[in-house]
Each structure stands twice: as C-alpha cells, then as structure tokens.
Amino acid sequence: MLILIDGVDCTYKSTVTQKVSEKLNIPWIKGSSFQLSNCSNEELFSHFKEQTELDNMIIERTIYSNQTYATIYEDYAILTDEQRHYIEDKLKNKAIVYYLFANDEVIKDRIRKRGDDYVDVTMVGRINKLFAKNIAKSPLKVIYYDTAEWTSSQIAEDIINEYTHQQVK
C-alpha cells in the first residue's frame, strides 16, 4: 500500500510524513516539489509513473500538488488530464490520499511564522480553493484532516492505524 500525503503548504505534511515513516519503519519520498516543476512534461510524467510501481512507501506531495501549483505558476511543468488519469488508475487499488488542509487565515499565519520561499500569503486563498477542487475530483480514497483541529501527532496516529488495518485485510 502507498500512503499519499498531500495538501497546501504549512499543513504538517513533512512532520506527519516523518512520524509515520519512523513509526511504521517504511521509507518516504517527495512525490512533487517546486524543484521538480522545472522539468519537462515527459520527465514529470515519468517521475509520477515510476511512483505507481512502488509499494509500502509514503509519498509526500502528489499529482494533486502538481495540478494545483502548476496551474498557478504557469512556468511549471504540469501533467495533462490524460496523464493524471493514467496515474490515478494505476494507484486506485493501492493508495490512500491523506489530505491535510486548514483555512486561509491559519495557513497565512503559519507561512508568516515559518517563512516560505515559494508561496506568497496573497496566493493562499487561490491555492486552497484549487487544492480542494482537485482533491474532490480524485477517484482515489481520500481521508481529510483539518490541521486547525488535528495535531500532527493525532494525524500520524490515525494514518498509522488506517495503514495497519489495511495491511491486516
């Protein structure tokens, strides 16, 4: 099974990923990144396609990050709808998306406190709306966590319990 952790910046993705990885003793990788966005469409598709062959892995940032941020930052590589559907079909029976989110003001406050080289607080509302729209269209199983209400430890524990339950099936 693949654990896909995605969401807007400052929603505990890295913290949750690290906690789950350590507790389950399974590796994790970055699925999408601002650095990766500078590659060609074919390189990006190949990168995501390779991820569909993995098992017992955590992938932080997925095709939904790509779909969201590349729509806003037009010079970034983006998967076509056909490519995204291909990836989703390959992941349908082997992955769960854990979508971490928070309202605009919570995210803006966290970005201001942490600092961010890529996301401007004026873009948060647009990013949040696009992410929610893209995740809602996913044919994969999606579990939602409002990080204004859940701590990173609570989210990690919930993911660990779900993963353990899935492995028993």
**pLDDT at residue 38 in the model:** 74
**What are the backbone dihedrals phi and psi of residue 148, each rounded to the nearest 5 degrees, phi first?**
-80, -15
Q: What is the pLDDT along the chain (169 residues), one digit of tens a residue?
A: 999 999 999 999 999 999 999 999 999 997 765 566 678 889 889 999 999 999 999 999 999 999 998 888 877 889 999 999 999 999 999 999 999 999 999 999 999 998 776 778 899 999 999 999 999 999 999 999 999 999 999 999 999 999 998 876 6
Separation between Cα atoms, residue 64 and residue 68, nearest integer Å: 6
**pLDDT at residue 32 in the model:** 65
Q: Count of CB atoms within 10 A of residue 77's CB?
A: 17
**pLDDT at residue 84 in the model:** 96
Q: 10, 103 in Cβ contact below 8 A?
A: no
**Superfamily for the 2-168 domain:** P-loop containing nucleotide triphosphate hydrolases (3.40.50.300)
**pLDDT at residue 35 in the model:** 62
Contacts of 101 (CB under 8 A, 6+ apart): 7, 8, 11, 128, 131, 132, 144, 145, 146, 147
Nearest to 97 by CA among 35, 5, 1: 5
**pLDDT at residue 168 in the model:** 64
